[in-house]
Amino acid sequence: MQNLMPAASASALPAILDQIHTDAQALFGQGRVASYIPALAEVPPRQFGIAVALVDGSTFSVGDAHTSFSLQSITKLFAFVLALKSVGDELWQRVGREPSGAAFNSMVQLETEKGIPRNPFINAGALVITDILTTRYAHLDYALLGALRRLTDDPELSWNARIARSERDTAHRNMAMAYFMKSYGNFVNDPELVLDNYCRQCATEMSCAQLAQATMFLANNGRDLRRDGSPDEQFLAADDARRVNALMLTCGAYDAAGDFAYRIGLPVKTGVGGGIVAIAPGIGTVAVWAPELDAKGNSVLGAFALEQLVLRTGWNHGQA
């Protein structure tokens, strides 16, 4: 695929990223690290990294871009893609494609909508996706890790067992959602097993640099850029990549998705670990991380950095 960003703009990226990184420092202290998962509450708050990967194979980074962090809800994106590859449009019989307008862990809509979650990126929808994959794979945790290791070219990529246990021990609301959906016939497996898989999935750790690389297929018509010398891989059909991006744009930032679309204008997926990944189709990917969150559960510095980046590059217009 042709890179839509002129070489001159690419050469300006290091200075742009440095300036954004400097400007964002003033926002430290305006958010708080996630505290409802005890292990995440211990993360030092004053950290911030940005990584950019372009479809021509070039990469740029600044700050703590090579520090691993807990992906949390960003893993919902990869699980959703794996389910889409596995069962195709059958998936939409069990989960919707609409913004929820409610908090990521809300149960309110499940009763009025008969146990069908609004989209795959809220917790209820992600649990259904994990249930689908638990049926499909005897060892889902390793199936998902295998895909992520290939996308990042890192055979050592894994989840953090301590964070997974901390999350599992406090997953009471998620467990309630699972049983509630099971009462409507929209849950097949034992909720305990699905929650085990889900919490290990959410505890997967990556750096910004790895996350930008892992999502390159969404900027590149479904093709993963291989950096180990092997041929590029058609990881996802081009039409499916476009649809995934559309869902990220409308549903990827919890109940702040509309605000993100207005301010940033790119498909994004956020996580309460402080990470955000954004896709600029035909151009590249951006991963940001800063663990201090706003009231909606999105990274304060990360959202600022993405907004500044699109203002300075015009990537939200499809061109620089």
Please list the active-site residues: 73, 76, 198, 254, 272
Nearest CA among 188, 192, 151 for reference residue 175: 192
Q: Which long-range contacts (CB under 8 A, 24 or more apart) does 101-104 make?
A: 101/255, 102/255, 103/254, 103/255, 103/296, 103/297, 104/73, 104/254, 104/255, 104/297
Is 221 labeled as ligand-binding? no
Is 174 labeled as ligand-binding? yes
Report which DSSP code applies to 265: -
Is 142 labeled as ligand-binding? no
Is 73 labeled as ligand-binding? yes
Distance CA 199, CA 168 (A): 6
Is 272 labeled as ligand-binding? yes
Sequence letter at residue 161: A
Q: Phi first, then psi: what are they for 279, rounded to 5°?
A: -115, 130
Is 179 labeled as ligand-binding? no
Strands 49-54 and 59-63: antiparallel
Is 58 labeled as ligand-binding? no
Q: Are 318 and 4 in contact, with CB atoms under 8 Å apart?
A: yes
State the binding site for substrate.
73, 123, 167, 174, 198, 254, 272
State the binding site.
73, 123, 167, 174, 198, 254, 272
